[in-house]
Structure 1
Amino acid sequence: MRAARSLALVALLPVFAGCQMFNSKPADTNAGLTRLQGELVSTNDQLIFQPCVGQQRYRVRDGATTTLVQDATDMPDKPGKLFADIRGRFDSAKASGANGEVEVQQLYRLERSSSACQDPNFKQQTVNASGNGPAWEVQAGGKGMVLKREGQPDLALPYVEEQVGDGRFSLSTEANNQRIELWVAPQRCTDSVNGSVKHLAAELRVNGQVQRGCGYFGGARND
């Protein structure tokens, strides 16, 4: 009888193991990483990241899948500071006044701008996308989205978000007798006009007319 009971417990072990496996939570790919925005400057042949807030400076080191150092070198020399929005592993220096180091894991945005650090809308936005020919911009957040187009009045609209798969999604709305869609995909995108680099490719469709551009996640989205 005791032997039979032992065999029953052994038989149940795979079942308990399976339950534990299926109930386990997916790993957090952002664990230990921090997202910050700031200015990039080149000093003594090193690329230094200075956050928008605080005085700490970090020497930039690319991770296995990023090329920020080369991207910064290739950026067109135009007016404005070199702004970067990155996620990485920040290691503050132990010695007072010395630089720390950041190993970059994700580049969200690299552009010339003297005002990006003071953007009042960044923290409320989930997605920002823009393009050219003619110029357009979509700012989406928890309260709706704003569509800005060259030569036309701004439109503030509600929207529905739909996940497509592989990190792709769309924002869509029907208002003012118009069908407006923003399709977004996780793909490196370079603006042909100003040379800025962003981590999303975007496509704006208004009543079937298509305009392409680039985008990035705002501060309200932790992807």
Structure 2
Amino acid sequence: MRLTPSLLLASLLPLFAGCQTFSEPPRDPNIGTTRLQGELSATGGQLLFKPCGESRHFIVRDAAGTGVLQEAANLADGANDRLFADLRGRLTGNKQANTDGQLDVSKLYRVEPSTQACEDPNFKQLTLRASGQGPAWDLKASGKGMVIDREGQQPLPLPFLEEQMPGGGLSLTSEANGQRVELWVAPQRCVERSSGSLRHLGAELRIDGQTLQGCAYYGGARDN
């Protein structure tokens, strides 16, 4: 059977359509959303979010199954029912009285029982912060390098190399001064033992022959 030009073109259209589908770049899930820090409080059976430095209040809706409502309920108690939250979402309007709209949460970075976190002067410069217990340790990373604080030792400033890992993980490595230091973080629900605070990354620090476990979160200098 001989194909006419019109039939040949028609037979190739599905192939062209398939090529176009596979060549489209993946959609960025953060488009149309904003990362926000602020205070969570429960009022009238609803969870409200007040951005840092603002007087507006937004009803919280868990649009992506982040667990923010349950996490806030787990951390709140009678003595301190106000929490700090670092999350990503989309602000929308609504007609409910005494609120300024609705926050559809798409990603949860951290929730903690703190009233001072909005005043953290270093948050916007950090790309990553990790910490753990047994012994206590804390790591802050920024565009200028990283600083490791460990219980009973002097702060250790180091340059580092960052590498993205499969599955959304991240590694920071340094071999300065003949000492190899590795930090590995991966997306997972992680609760700090000392405070009960929730973090969106699990962390593992390897230093001086030790492997230390902890939790981590992205700082304000990283928009993802």
Task: Report the counterpart of residue 139 of structure 1 in structure 2.
Answer: 140
Question: Could you tell me which amino acid in structure 2 is paired with residue 156 of structure 1?
Answer: P
Contact 1:80–1:114 (Cα < 8 Å) also in 2: no
- How far has the Cα of 1:215 moved from its partner? 0.6
Aligned with 1:30: secondary structure?
coil
Aligned with 1:186: secondary structure?
strand
Q: Kindly report which structure 2 residues correspond to 1:60-99, keeping only aligned pairs within 5 A, or say none.
A: 60-75=60-75, 77=77, 81-93=82-94, 98-99=99-100
Summarize deviations over 1:110-165 as a string: whole Å, max 9, x none. 11223211212211211111111221111112221111112211122111112220
Question: Could you tell me which amino acid in structure 2 is paired with residue 210 of structure 1?
Answer: T
Contact 2:59–2:99 (Cα < 8 Å) also in 1: no
Task: Report the counterpart of residue 41 of structure 1 in structure 2.
Answer: 41
Counterpart Cα distance in 1 of 2:165 and 2:98: 47
Q: Kindly report which structure 2 residues correspond to 1:31-180, keeping only aligned pairs within 5 A, or say none.
A: 31-75=31-75, 77=77, 81-93=82-94, 98-180=99-181
Task: Report the counterpart of residue 30 of structure 2 in structure 1.
Answer: 30
Counterpart Cα distance in 1 of 2:186 and 2:96: 42
Which consecutive unaligned segments of at least 5 residues does structure 1 have?
A: none
Q: RMSD value over aligned CA atoms?
A: 2.3
TM-score with structure 2 length normalisation?
A: 0.88
Question: Could you tell me which amino acid in structure 1 is paired with residue 51 of structure 2?
Answer: P
- How far has the Cα of 1:97 moved from its partner? 5.6
Counterpart Cα distance in 2 of 1:15 and 1:73: 52
Contact 1:36–1:87 (Cα < 8 Å) also in 2: yes
Counterpart Cα distance in 1 of 2:62 and 2:21: 34
- How far has the Cα of 1:93 moved from its partner? 4.2
Task: Name the stretch that deviates more: 153-162 or 90-99.
Answer: 90-99
Summarize deviations over 1:35-88 as a string: whole Å, max 9, x none. 100011122222211100322101112234222122112116477951000112
Counterpart Cα distance in 1 of 2:34 and 2:40: 17
Question: Could you tell me which amino acid in structure 1 is paired with residue 195 of structure 2?
Answer: N
Contact 1:90–1:103 (Cα < 8 Å) also in 2: yes
TM-score with structure 1 length normalisation?
A: 0.88
Percent sequence identity over aligned pairs: 53
Task: Report the counterpart of residue 5 of structure 1 in structure 2.
Answer: 5
Aligned with 1:87: secondary structure?
strand
Summarize deviations over 1:181-208 as a string: whole Å, max 9, x none. 1000100001122100010000111033
Aligned with 2:40: secondary structure?
strand
Q: May I ask how many residue pairs the two structures share in their alignment? A: 221
Q: 1:213 to 1:80 in 2, by over 3 A?
A: farther
Counterpart Cα distance in 2 of 1:95 and 1:195: 33
Aligned with 2:146: secondary structure?
strand
